[in-house]
Amino acid sequence: MQDKSPSAAQAWSGRFNEPVSDLVKRYTASIHFDRRLAEFDIQGSLAHADMLHAVGILKIDDLSSIRKGMQQIQEEIRSGQFGWSIDAEDVHLNIEKRLTELVGDAGKRLHTARSRNDQVATDIRLWLRSEIDALSALIRNLQIALLDLAEQHSDTVMPGFTHLQVAQPISFGHHLMAYFEMLKRDSERLSDCRKRANRLPLGAAALAGTSYPIDREMVARELGFDGVCENSLDAVSDRDFAIEFTAGAALIMTHLSRLSEELILWMSPCFGFIDIADRFCTGSSIMPQKKNPDVPELVRGKTGRVNGHLVALLTLMKSQPLAYNKDNQEDKEPLFDTADTLNATLRIYAEMISGITVNKDAMRQAAFQGYATATDLADYLVKKGLPFRDAHEAVARAVRYAESRKCDLSELTLAQLCEFSPLIANDIFDVLTLEGSLNSRNHTGGTAPEQVRKAIQRARKSLSA
Ligand code: ARG
């Protein structure tokens, strides 16, 4: 019979009577982004080939040819010599095509007992695992930068806010340690996601498994997976790991976006609490006095992009019938961009935090001006026997009075304070100082500098564990 297939360029062309149109070729190809998976594709193929040989499916000569060919392909890719072609659609077919050019039939035998469906799922998992490892190290660096700054400022007083109104005095170190805790959970979330990602899909083949006597456990071991995906349909269609990772990434970006918002506020001359090193800021082309916090603003902005990727991936998977569908090709760009955005953000953030200078006086002044010790006065009255509601009322009146005199509670005389409650005595003045307020919150998780120092110690230990 005459061969009417359009060309041998497509691995599946035998079934078709006419070539795919250029428009469709461009629409369906993924080579311009999935070539990023090349190293992992080769790694997976080599493990697969080793196994095919071990179970007697692939002769030793073919295995050696495949290894040699892959070695050369790797070198071509690394040196930028590899000729990526849209005709071969994706990374898997590009590499297989080149392998066959280089080693002939051995290259054509590699795809025995395998499908691109289990192949691509394996590649992404290998890629994600290495990204998570790199990101975990970057989170740790940022945590160290936060700890170093917190350590210098366990005694630095700033106003703590609720509703962005001055609430109670806190230690600036304590405030920074809140972000340490967030990042600690973030890091745990990534490790947790890594566990579920670290399972081998290969062997699922297209969807149902394969009739060859394969050894999936051997491939899993060789690739450093903790085990195999237990169901072949699930193995090729599961992208939970992509969603979990992006959800974890979105939360990290969300945390950094909150910190960015604070840095931006604190750097505004209206606050003047901190300064961010010039190398992280830009000027204005029209207003000569300006120094703009571009980096934290962009972090805040890029959070939207990562949150968007999470929604894209959730929407991609919703309603997909089992098992593999071409839709899944759309998982890669959001995933790659999420990892890249997070990587760049964590890197720049650690450096930016190390370059922050603190204006202790401005922080102190802001805490002093906001009646931040009013709760301490109420607590003082409660300890002397007044019910809390009555104490709250008495202190509210005292604050109103101080406000009318444009002074702090601590600047009122004992006689003036006694007007609001006869229970107030001379010992009140220790309570009303910012330091007195801070030091009194001396329990695990409290803002007393002694506790902040302990928290920093615990944190350092947890990082070295
Ligand atoms: N490029 C494809 C992807 O990223 C590879 C798998 C294609 N499988 C298929 N049966 N067309 O998902």
- Please report the pLDDT score of residue 7 as a whole number: 53
Q: Tell me if 113 sits within 8 A of 210, measured CB to CB.
A: yes
Q: Is residue 8 in some structural domain? A: no
Task: Using alpha carbons, list the distances in angstroms from residue 329 to 24, 39, 265, 333.
Answer: 15, 18, 41, 9
Question: 443: burial class by Cβ within 10 Å (0-12, 13-18, 19+)?
Answer: exposed
- d(C-alpha 92, C-alpha 79), whole Å: 19
Q: Are 248 and 241 in contact (CB under 8 A)?
A: no
Q: Does a cis peptide bond (omega within 30 degrees of 0) precede residue 220?
A: no
212: alpha, beta or left? (left if phi > 0; alpha if psi -120 to 50): beta
Angle 339-341-344 from CA coordinates, rounded to 5°: 105
Which of 344, 359, 374 is where one domain is finished?
Answer: 359
CA 45, CA 97: separation in Å to the nearest integer? 13
Question: Could you tell me which of 140, 346, 142 has the C-alpha nearest to residue 253?
Answer: 346
| Sign for the pseudo-dihedral over CA of 51, 52, 57, 58 | negative
| Alpha carbons 225 and 63: distance in angstroms, whole number | 22
Measured distance CA(85)–CA(88) in Å, rounded? 6
Distances (CA, A) of 223 to 77, 118, 171, 194, 348: 21, 14, 48, 14, 32
Which one of 359, 390, 425 terminates a domain?
359
SS3 258: helix
Q: Total structural domains in the chain?
A: 3
Say if residue 93 is in the same domain as residue 137. no
Tokens of 61: 């000569």
| Ligand 1 pocket member 122 (CB < 6 A) | no
Residue 39 shares a structural domain with residue 152:
no
341 and 440, same domain (yes or no): no
Protein residue closest via CA to atom 11 of ligand 1: 326
Neighbours of 66 (CB within 10 A): 25
**Helix, coil or strand: residue 171:** strand
Question: Does 297 share its domain with 440?
Answer: no
Is residue 4 domain-resident? no
Evaluate whether residue 6 is within a structural domain: no
**Which residues of the chain are modeled with pLDDT < 70?**
1-9
Residue ending a domain, choose from 359, 388, 407: 359
CA of residue 82 to ligand 1 center, whole Å: 21
Position 267 in a domain: yes
Is ligand 1 within 6 A of the CB of residue 111?
A: no
The reply to whether 17 and 56 lie within a common domain is yes
- 332 and 183 in a single domain? The answer is yes
Residue 2 maps to a domain: no
Distance 222 CA to ligand 1 centre (A): 24
Regarding whether 155 and 71 lie in a shared domain, the answer is no
Residue 318 lies in a domain: yes
Instruction: Say if residue 141 is in the same domain as residue 277.
Output: yes
Q: Which residues pair with 282 in a beta bridge?
A: 292
Give the per-residue pLDDT at 3. 45
Whichever domain contains 58, its CATH number is 1.10.275.10
* CA 227 to ligand 1 centroid distance, Å: 23
Return the beta strands (E) in 269-425 as ranges.
Answer: 274-276, 356-358
> 256 and 168 share a domain?
yes
Read off the CATH number of the domain in which 396 is found: 1.10.40.30
Determine, yes or no, domain membership for 5: no
Which residue from 326, 330, 336 has its CB within 8 A of the most atoms of ligand 1, so it is best to mutate?
326
* CA distance linking residue 15 with residue 438, whole number of Å: 77
CB 151 within 8 A of CB 456: yes
Are residues 333 and 210 part of one domain? Answer: yes
Query: Count H helices, E strands: the chain?
Result: 20, 6
Which DSSP category does 80 fall into?
T
Beta bridge partners of 200: 228
pTM of the model: 0.94
Look up the domain containing 400 and give its range. 365-464
DSSP assignment letter at 328 = G
Q: Are 141 and 274 found together in one domain?
A: yes
Distance, CA of 107 to CA of 274 (rounded, Å): 61
Using alpha carbons, list the distances in angstroms from residue 285 to 289, 295, 297, 298.
10, 17, 18, 18
pLDDT digits over 175-212, tens only?
999 999 999 999 999 999 999 999 999 999 999 999 99
Q: CATH number for the domain including 284?
A: 1.20.200.10
* CA nearest ligand 1 atom 12, residue: 329
CB of 10 shorter than 6 A to ligand 1: no
- Regarding whether 122 and 102 lie in a shared domain, the answer is no
Active site residues per annotation: 163, 284
Distances (CA, A) of 72 to 78, 99, 144, 246, 323: 10, 9, 41, 34, 34
